[in-house]
Structure 1
Amino acid sequence: MARIDESKIGETPFQKLLGHNSEIMERWNQLDKAFEGLSSKLREQVRRTLAQGNGCDYCKAKGKPDPLEYDEKTSIAVGFAEVFLKQKGGIANSTFDVLKESFSEKEISELCAFIAFTTASQHFGAMMKLEPSTRT
């Protein structure tokens, strides 16, 4: 059970916790929708990778990364997410050199922003003790 009751605003349990502050929830959702330069499959595998290390049971319940879904770019992005989980802000320049071999600067910027945003979302879920739904 989450640490606070869900509000009546929002569609998902996560949104309903943010819904106590509807403007924050709306803007959070807008930012989430802004990530469209990278494929949805790549973003989902990165999200799943981050979920394993960010402590949100709700996020982990949506599944582990699936290497069968990886193409070359997804594999590199997932690897970068794993490095982020271990190094946080101390990522070596050589790691970015690897990214630059497959991603444009615009894509690298979006990937890093997506990782930061997703980590913030997952930390919020962990702080609130957001758990997977038991409803069927």
Structure 2
Amino acid sequence: MSRLTIPAREDAPATSQPMLDAVEKQLGVVPNLFRLVGTSPAALEGYLGLNAALARTLDAKTRERIALAIAQANGCDYCLSAHSYLGLNLARIDEVEIALNRAGHSGDARADAAVVFARKVLEARGKVSDADLAAVRLAGFTEAQVIEIVATVALNVLTNYINNVAETDIDFPVVLADAA
């Protein structure tokens, strides 16, 4: 059971309601994470705004691959469950690729550079080496995309930490970080 209250959809603050409506329109449901974050309209607005902005720049597969790598590294079962489901069903990433992503890699060379870099950003708390930066550039990522990869890491750390603090009830097929 979640350590923080996950309000029923209708009990969310009025300011969060239109944002939760947009989530429901996009996903068909309002997952527990969004209802939980929606207890703070400011946090929900910030999360959704950055998520939407990054969705316009990095493709869905890259974002899901990074999310899986970061969730695994942070031991976030909720995010690992959600992004495994989203990776399979929305981004169309196969199970072999998801396993590689969880291990901080990809079967695609360019995607591997992004996922490896994202994990290094997380592990080094942003203090990556010149060689780390050179590797992601060599794979064809622009400086703007490097910033977007870092922002994707930060966005996923945010949700990982919220879910780890709350022990959010998982409302996706359960995938456990310690089962890797």
1:40 aligns with 2:60: yes
Unpaired runs of 5+ residues, structure 2, are 13-19, 21-29, 85-94, 174-180
- Deviates most, 70-79 or 39-48: 70-79
Which residue does the alignment assign to 2:133?
96
Distance 1:30 1:92 in 2: 30
The offset of 1:92, in angstroms, is 0.9
Alpha-carbon contact 1:50-1:85 (below 8 Å) kept: yes
Question: In the superposition, relative to structure 1, how do residues 12 and 134 fare at CA in structure 2: closer, same or farther (>3 Å)?
Answer: closer
Task: Determine the structure 1 residue equivalent to 2:41.
Answer: 22
Q: 1:113 aligns with which of 151, 157, 177?
A: 151
* Deviation at residue 87 of structure 1 after TM alignment: 2.1
Cα distance 1:4–1:89, how it changes in 2: closer, same or farther (>3 A)? same
Aligned pair partner of 1:78 in 111, 115, 131: 115
* CA contact 1:46–1:81 (8 Å) conserved in 2: yes
Q: Residue 169 of structure 2 aligns to a residue in which SS? A: coil
Equivalent residue of 1:127, what SS? helix
TM-score of the aligned structures, taking structure 2 as reference length: 0.66
- Indicate the RMSD between aligned Cα atoms, in angstroms: 2.3
> Contact between 2:120 and 2:128, CA under 8 Å: does it hold in 1?
yes
Asked if structure 2 preserves the Cα contact closer than 8 Å seen for 1:84 and 1:91, the reply is yes
Deviation at 1:5, TM superposition (A): 1.4
Return the TM-score normalized by structure 1.
Answer: 0.86
State how far apart, in whole Å, the 1-side matches of 2:108 and 2:172 are: 33
Q: Which runs of 5+ in 1 are unaligned?
A: none
